[in-house]
Structure 1
Amino acid sequence: MSFHSRLKKCRESQGFSQIEFAQKLDVSNTVLSRYESGDREPNIDMLIRISDSLNVSVDYLLFGNANKNNSLFQSESFEVKLKNFQKELIHSDEESLDKIITIWNVIKK
């Protein structure tokens, strides 16, 4: 698997659309599309921003070497988990929301 394939796979596995991820990187959708198609290679600064944004190592993106300590790529990212939780909250009744708020306030302390 190549860099551009791993980039696209990581982005998709973390629930980012191409437009969302391009905005996160502060590049145009066209630039990200060209990275993912292999038509363009990012410079080292952009490569670091990509790896940080996806919570994977540069080594993984370039060579496919998995960092055993990096379990974020193996599971849902925090942002995906938060989006899914938010979707569930929207459909909760008021009593459940009150309980969640109470639990959250205990956790914050």
Structure 2
Amino acid sequence: MTLGSRLRERRERLGKTQLTAAKELGISNVQLSRYESDDRKPEPDMLGRFAEYYKTTADYLLGLTSDSTLEGATGIPSEAAAFEEFMRNPEHGLFFKDYLDAPEARQEEMLRFWTFIREQERLRRTDRDHE
């Protein structure tokens, strides 16, 4: 995957149009289009803005890692990273099948719900272990 295709993939994952993303990033739609088509390479500060905006790392955007989550940068699994791993399991994906393609607000709502479910399961296991 190229830098441009990774930028496009992250933008689409957030449910953003090119026009909306460009406006929120403070660049023109033409500039974003050129970045996504690999006609133009971003300067380091722009790369950092992309990583922050798309909730990923510069390493992922540059193709240095296949881990698109911020977990790769911290070494600590984030709730979103754990949830995405859970979602990639075909047995789990049916329940939240639209998560990966959902807009950001919907993803956050689903993540909160999943966090609640996971916590309840942890409490059940703890109670069962103490019986």
State if a TM-score over 0.5 links the two structures: yes
Q: CA deviation at 1:80?
A: 3.1
The residue that corresponds to 1:55 in the other structure is: 55
Q: CA deviation at 1:79?
A: 3.4
How far apart, CA to CA, are the structure 2 residues paired with 1:5 and 1:82? 22
Higher relative contact order, structure no. (Cα contacts within 8 Å, ≥ 6 residues apart): 1
Q: Say if 1:47 and 1:58, in contact at 8 Å, map to a contact too.
A: yes
TM-score using structure 1 length: 0.65
TM-score using structure 2 length: 0.55
Unaligned runs of 5+ in 2: 85-98, 111-131
Paired residue secondary structure (2:105):
helix
Percent of aligned pairs with the same amino acid? 36
The residue that corresponds to 1:13 in the other structure is: 13
Paired residue secondary structure (1:15):
coil
How far apart, CA to CA, are the structure 2 residues paired with 1:21 and 1:83? 18
Unaligned runs of 5+ in 1: 86-109
How far apart, CA to CA, are the structure 2 residues paired with 1:64 and 1:80? 28
Q: Report Cα offsets for 1:10-52 as digits up to 9, x if no partner.
A: 1001101000100111000000000000100110000000000
